[in-house]
Structure 1
Amino acid sequence: MDQDAPTILETLIEETRAELENTQRELKEIRLTVTQSRSELEKLTQRNAQITAQLRQMQANLESLPRADIKAAYDAAQDAQQRLFAMRGQVEKLQGDQTNLERLAEYMRRNLQTLEAMAAEQAPARGGAGGDGKPMIVRIVEAQESERQKLSRQIHDGPAQALSNFVLQSEIAMRLFEKDQDLARQELANMKSAATATLQKIRDFIFDLRPMMLDDLGLTPTVKRYVDAFKDKSGIATTLTVTGQERRLESVREIMLFRGLQELLGNARNHAQATQIRVSLDTDDTRVRVIVEDNGKGFDVEAAFSGPQRTIGLAGLKERIELLGGALQIDSQPGQGTRVVMDVPAGDAA
C-alpha cells in the first residue's frame, strides 16, 4: 500500500490538471461565443431601432396607408422585439456561464496548487494510515469526492433549478407578447425580481465555494467578512476577535484554516443549536491560531473520532490540520458547549 500511495497522488494531480485544461478550453470557446453573440445583439438592437423609427413615421400617415402594410410593419416590429429579447437572454446566460467557468477554473487552479504542495511537503506521510487503516492519500481523495458530491447537489438544487425556471418564464413572456403585452411586462418584472434574488444566492454560493478575496486580501479580511455574513444569515450572536499580525500566509494554509472555520461555524449552527459563538484569530511570526467557542449542546469528543464515519467532519478536519504540521484541540461535553482550537505553523510568508 505504501508503494501505491504516491502513484495515487500523482494520478490525482494529473486528473486535476487535465480537468483544468479542459475547463480552460471550454472557457476559451465560450468567450468567443459571447463575443459573437454580443455582435449579433448589437445588430438586432440597431434593427429594432430602425423598425421603431419606421413605425413612428407610419403613425403620422396611418389613414393613407393600406391595412396590409400597417399589419406587416407591426408584425415585423413584434418579431424584431422578440428576437432582441431572446438574444439578450442568450447573451446574459452566456455571460453567466463564462463567469461560472472562470470561477471554476480558479478553484481548480488552487486545488491543483494544494495537491502539489501536499506532494512536495508531505511525502513522508503519503503512505501513513489513519485510525481506520486507510492510507492518508486515500482519505484525501475520499474527502475531495465528498466535497464534489456536495457541490453537485448544491448546484442542482440552487442555480440549476433557478435557470430552468428562467427558461420557462421567458417562454411564457414571449407567448404573452402576442396576446397581452401588459401581462408580458408583469411576467418580465417577476423574472427580474427572481433573477436578482438568484444572483445574490449565486454570489453567496460562490463566496462559500471559493471567496476571491481570500486570494486577493488574505485570511484575516476574509474571516471578518465571513463571520459578519454568518451572523446576519444565521441570526446567531457571533463575535470575532483578531489579534497579532495581519499578514499573508501560504495559500494552502489560508485555505485550510478558512475551510476549517466554515466547518466549525456550520457545526455550531446546524448541530450544536448554539445561540452564541465566539471566534478569535491570532497570528504571530510562527503560529496561527483560530478558536471557535459556542454555548451549544456539546457532544462526546471520543465518539466523534471513532466508527466508520471518522473520515468526515471533525475527524477529517483534524487530519487536514495535521497535514500542515498543526494540531486540533477539542473541548466539549454534552450540555456544556464546545471549544475548538486550530493551531498551525505560520510557514513562509506568501
Structure 2
Amino acid sequence: MSEANIDIQLLDDVMNKTVVSVEESKEKIFEIAENAHKENNFITLELETLRNEIDLVITQTDELEWKAKQARQRLANISRGFKRYSELEIREAYEMASQMQIQLSLSRDKEKHLRERRDELERRHRNILNTIEKSENLISQMGIVLNYLQGDLRKVGIALESAHHHQLLGIQIIQAQEEERKRVARDIHDGPAQSMANVALRSEIVEKMLNQNRIDEAKVELRLLKELTRASLVDVRKIIFDLRPMALDDLGLTPTLRKYLEEYEKRHHIETKLTLLSPERRLQSSIEVAVFRLIQESLNNTAKHANAKQVEVKLEFKPNKVLFMVADNGIGFEKQAKGERPQFGIMGMQERVKLLQGTMKIESKPGKGTILFFGIPLRIEENTKAGGSEK
C-alpha cells in the first residue's frame, strides 16, 4: 500500500515538472508570436510608406523621361541648324540634355532600389505571417496539452480504473474548447485586431500629414479612421454575440433564433424562415446554447458556400429530445468519398453533436440544396421538468 502511494507521489512530481516545462515553453512561443506581430505591424507601415514613395518616384521618372526627350529633341534641332544658334544657346541645350539624362538615370536607379527594398520587405512579411501562424497553432496545441495535464491526468492514481474512458472524453472536450477559443481568437485577429493595427497605422499617417500642413488630406484620413472605428465596434459586438447571446438566458431559444435570423437575413440577403413543429418551451441552458450553436454554424456554412436564396429552420420539442433541421436551396455538393475528411465546419458540428450523444445527418445533391438534420437527447432532469410543465 505504501509502495503504491510512493508511486503515485512520484507520478504527481513528474507530472508537475512536465506542466511547468510545458508552461515555460508556451510562454516562450507566445513571446515569439508577440514579437512577430510587432514586426509585422512595423513592416506593414514601412511597406505602405515605401509603396507611396515608389509611386512618387515613378511619377517623377515619367516626368524626367518626357523632359529628357524634349531636351534631346532640342539638341537634335540645334545640330541640324547649327549656324542659326549662338554658342551660349548650344552650350545650354547640351548641358540641359546632359542634366536631364543624369537626373533620369538617378531616378531610375532610385526606383530600382526602392522596388528591390519593397520585394525584400514583402518576402519578410510573408515569412513573418508564416511564423505567426505556426506559433499560434503551437500555442493552441500546447494549450490542449496543458489543459489535459492539469485535468484528469493529475488524478490518474485515483481514477486509474476508468482512466482510458476519461482520457478519451477529456481529449474530446478539451479539443472542442480549444477549437472554440481558436475560432474566437481568429475572429478577433482578423477583425478588431487588424482594424486596431490599421487605426494605429492611419493615425501615424495623419500625424505626418498634419506635420506637413496637409490639412485636407488629414481630414479625409480622419473620416476613414472614424468609419474604421465604427466597423471595428460592429465586429466586437458580433464577437460578443457569438460568444454568448444574452437573449438565450433572458428569452430562451426560439426568440433568440428569431432575432438571429432577422439579422442574418439583413447581413447576407438570404430569405429566412423559422417553423415550429410543436409548442415552444425552455430547455436546460447548456442544451439551448448547443442547439443555437449548431443552427448558427449551419447558417454560416450556408452563407459561405451554398450560394442560396432561401434557408429554413425547423424546430420540434419532443418529450425526450429536441429535433431541428436547416434546409437551403443552394448549390449543394457531392457526397463525400469514403475516408475523405469533411470540411472543418462540418467536423466541428459532428464533434459537438457527438459530445451531446446526439445524431446528425446531411442530405445534399449538386443543384438540389442541402438539408442538415439534428437530434439532441434531453437529460433526465430536463425530461422530468418538461413532463411536470405539461401537466
Q: Please, which of 192, 201, 215 is the counterpart of residue 159 of structure 1?
A: 192
After TM superposition, the structure 1 = structure 2 runs for residues 200-279 of structure 1, keeping only pairs within 5 Å, are 200-279=234-313
Q: Which residue of 1 aligns with 2:180?
A: 147
TM-score by length of 1: 0.53
Q: Please report the RMSD computed on the Cα atoms of aligned residues, expressed in angstroms.
A: 3.9
Give the SS at the match of 2:257.
helix
Q: Which residue of 1 aligns with 2:352?
A: 320
TM-score by length of 2: 0.48
Matched, 1:198 2:232: yes
More helix by share: 2
Give the SS at the match of 1:271.
helix
Deviation of residue 223 (structure 1)? 1.1
Note the alpha carbon deviations across 1:161-199, whole angstroms, 9 max, x for none.
Answer: 111222234445556666476765554444323222221
Using a 3 Å threshold, how does the CA distance of structure 1 residues 311 and 232 change in structure 2: closer, same or farther?
Answer: closer
Give the SS at the match of 1:278.
strand
Using a 3 Å threshold, how does the CA distance of structure 1 residues 180 and 300 change in structure 2: closer, same or farther?
Answer: closer
Q: Please, which of 301, 311, 322 is the counterpart of residue 288 of structure 1?
A: 322
Using a 3 Å threshold, how does the CA distance of structure 1 residues 126 and 151 change in structure 2: closer, same or farther?
Answer: farther
Greater relative CO (CA pairs within 8 A, separation 6+): 1
Query: In structure 2, how many angstroms separate the alpha carbons of the residues matched to 1:201 and 1:224?
Result: 21
Deviation of residue 321 (structure 1)? 2.1
The amino acid of 1:329's aligned partner reads K
The amino acid of 1:227's aligned partner reads L
Report if aligned partners of 1:126, 1:136 keep a CA contact under 8 Å in 2. no
Note the alpha carbon deviations across 1:238-272, whole angstroms, 9 max, x for none.
Answer: 22223433333222212211111122112222223
Report if aligned partners of 1:143, 1:312 keep a CA contact under 8 Å in 2. no
Query: In structure 1, how many angstroms separate the alpha carbons of the residues matched to 2:306 and 2:343?
Result: 20
Query: In structure 2, how many angstroms separate the alpha carbons of the residues matched to 1:289 and 1:200?
Result: 32
Query: In structure 2, how many angstroms separate the alpha carbons of the residues matched to 1:188 and 1:170?
Result: 8
Query: In structure 2, how many angstroms separate the alpha carbons of the residues matched to 1:301 and 1:219?
Result: 31
Deviation of residue 229 (structure 1)? 1.6
Report if aligned partners of 1:284, 1:346 keep a CA contact under 8 Å in 2. no
Q: Which residue of 2 aligns with 1:104?
A: none
Query: In structure 1, how many angstroms separate the alpha carbons of the residues matched to 2:366 and 2:169?
Result: 30
Give the SS at the match of 1:227.
helix
Query: In structure 2, how many angstroms separate the alpha carbons of the residues matched to 1:187 and 1:334?
Result: 46
Using a 3 Å threshold, how does the CA distance of structure 1 residues 299 and 180 change in structure 2: closer, same or farther?
Answer: closer
Deviation of residue 301 (structure 1)? 4.4
The amino acid of 1:247's aligned partner reads R
Note the alpha carbon deviations across 1:282-304, whole angstroms, 9 max, x for none.
Answer: 2244332211112223334454x
Using a 3 Å threshold, how does the CA distance of structure 1 residues 322 and 143 change in structure 2: closer, same or farther?
Answer: closer
After TM superposition, the structure 1 = structure 2 runs for residues 25-174 of structure 1, keeping only pairs within 5 Å, are 127=164, 135-173=168-206
Using a 3 Å threshold, how does the CA distance of structure 1 residues 180 and 260 change in structure 2: closer, same or farther?
Answer: same
Q: Which residue of 1 aligns with 2:40?
A: none
Report if aligned partners of 2:316, 2:322 keep a CA contact under 8 Å in 1. yes
Query: In structure 2, how many angstroms separate the alpha carbons of the residues matched to 1:189 and 1:148?
Result: 34
Q: Which residue of 2 aligns with 1:337?
A: 369
Query: In structure 2, how many angstroms separate the alpha carbons of the residues matched to 1:297 and 1:254?
Result: 30
Calculate percent identity across the aligned residue pairs: 40
Using a 3 Å threshold, how does the CA distance of structure 1 residues 174 and 272 change in structure 2: closer, same or farther?
Answer: closer
Query: In structure 2, how many angstroms separate the alpha carbons of the residues matched to 1:340 and 1:257?
Result: 13
Count of matched residue pairs: 227
Using a 3 Å threshold, how does the CA distance of structure 1 residues 150 and 182 change in structure 2: closer, same or farther?
Answer: same
Report if aligned partners of 2:327, 2:370 keep a CA contact under 8 Å in 1. yes
Using a 3 Å threshold, how does the CA distance of structure 1 residues 335 and 194 change in structure 2: closer, same or farther?
Answer: closer
Query: In structure 2, how many angstroms separate the alpha carbons of the residues matched to 1:126 and 1:144?
Result: 21
Deviation of residue 160 (structure 1)? 0.8
Query: In structure 1, how many angstroms separate the alpha carbons of the residues matched to 2:327 and 2:355?
Result: 23
Structure 2: segments with no counterpart, 5+ residues: 1-11, 20-150, 153-161, 387-391
Report if aligned partners of 2:336, 2:342 keep a CA contact under 8 Å in 1. no
Report if aligned partners of 1:290, 1:342 keep a CA contact under 8 Å in 2. yes
Query: In structure 2, how many angstroms separate the alpha carbons of the residues matched to 1:242 and 1:337?
Result: 21
Give the SS at the match of 1:293.
strand
